[in-house]
Amino acid sequence: MTRIVHIRNIAIVAILFASIHISSAQNIKGSVVTENLYSALLQNAAGEDPTRSVTIYLPPGYETSGKRYPVIYYLHGFTWSDVNMIKYDRFHELLDKAIALQRIEPVIVVMPNHHTLYRGSWYTNSSFTGKWADFTGLDLVSYIDKNYRTIANRDSRGVAGHSMGGQGALKMGMLFPDVFSSVYAMSPATLDANSEELGIRGAAYKRIGEITSREQLIDGWGEFLPNAIIAMGRAYTPNPSKPPFYADLPYEYLKDSLIIHYDILKVWREKSAMGMIDNHVEDLKKLTALKLDWGRNEDTAQIPRTSLAFSKKLENLGIHHYAEEYIGNHSNKLWTDDGRALNDMLPFFNTYLNFGK
């Protein structure tokens, strides 16, 4: 009887200790700072604000530790913003949980605002709207390293994103392999500029011919694909002499006749993430780690198809990477307790970033 009581006492103490540990971990919170950063790289003729908000998550203990931390640059999706990452996605709370559960060691996370007049920059340098890729890979990184206690080398920098931000993360990895060492792209959108809903089989281009103003285009979600295509046009093939949207597009409807502008289509293919691979094979091979994932039931058919095609192209070129399809749609398995960010993306960076040990 004495032995049984003793074992029970040990079990009770263990449970109480675990409860206290979990409770303490849940009470450890990071802090969120929002700054406004001006970049000359974003000076433009399109009316975009070259001063961008940047939301920064500082891990628990940052204010008192004196330590330096690796940095993950997280790129938001189309129509979204850095503010929405906190207000709606509650990314800071998920980061607190991930650190408490030891899914990742304490890390700084930087979220720049790429929400434009047409709801997305596509993380692309444009002669019209500004050099959004260079802003992210050069000015932003330089600013963060100068003003926060970072481990200021590529081995301690990662870049990730979702949807528009997923393709942005892949572009960052290709354009700046000496800045970022590890890349994670969740449900990367529009990897191929001529696929499914974005090509002649979709209805978006015909609808674009019926829309006459920016206000109509960006009003809610009803014109999502036409809006995305126009925003891509302003990034890829801007035309300041072509109102109302100031962009050349690869497809155009005149009455009921489809016109294909092959010269424009060629540029779109070259500037898409899929097209960029050919000129960045060695850059991709420099990366420490690369992963993309996508939902089997994505809201648009182009994401599963182009993500798989992107992965196969990397494989055929001998570029080591990870690729995974999971059961989910475009957003239902991102920020949940069983979702990709907590259980896959952050542990990925915990494995591949240098935390300065």
- At residue 357, the pLDDT reads 73
- What's the predicted TM-score (pTM) here? 0.92
The closest of 116, 113, 106 to 74, measured between CA atoms, is 113
Q: How far, in Å, CA of 225 to CA of 189, rounded?
A: 11
Closest CA to 167 of 280, 264, 78: 78
Q: What is the pLDDT of residue 8?
A: 41
Q: What is the mean pLDDT of residues 56-77?
A: 97
Q: Where are the domains of the chain?
A: 29-191+281-352, 193-271
In the prediction, which pLDDT does 27 show?
A: 57
SS3 74: strand
Distance, CA of 259 to chain centre: 33
**In sequence order, what are the residues at sequence separation of 6 or more whose Cβ sits closer than 8 angstroms to the Cβ of residue 105?**
99, 350, 355
User: According to the model, what pLDDT value does residue 192 have?
Assistant: 93
Beta bridge partners, 111, equal 55
pLDDT at residue 15 is higher than 70: no
Instruction: From residue 93, give the alpha-carbon distance in Å to each of 31, 60, 88, 110, 178.
Output: 10, 11, 11, 15, 31
Per-residue pLDDT tens for 280-336? 999 999 999 999 999 999 999 999 999 999 999 999 999 999 999 999 999 999 999
Which residue type is seen at 277? Answer: I
* C-alpha neighbours within 13 Å on the C-beta side of residue 345: 32
Within the chain, where are the H helices?
A: 2-27, 62-65, 82-87, 91-100, 132-134, 141-147, 164-175, 204-208, 214-217, 224-236, 262-271, 273-276, 281-286, 302-316, 340, 346-352
Per-residue model confidence (pLDDT) at position 254: 86
Return d(Cα 166, Cα 146) in angstroms, integer.
Answer: 26
pLDDT digits (tens, 9 = 90+) for 111-160: 999 999 999 999 999 999 999 999 999 999 999 999 999 999 999 999 99
Do residues 123 and 168 make contact, with C-beta atoms less than 8 angstroms apart? yes
Q: What is the CA radius of gyration of the chain?
A: 22
Convert the pLDDT of each residue in 215-273 to its tens digit. 999 999 899 999 999 999 999 999 999 999 999 999 999 887 889 999 999 999 999 99
CATH number of 29-191+281-352: 3.40.50.1820
Query: How many residues are listed for the chain in this entry?
Result: 357
pLDDT score recorded for residue 2? 38
Averaged pLDDT score across all residues of the chain = 92
Q: Which two structure tokens, joined as six digits, stand for 142?
A: 């330089």
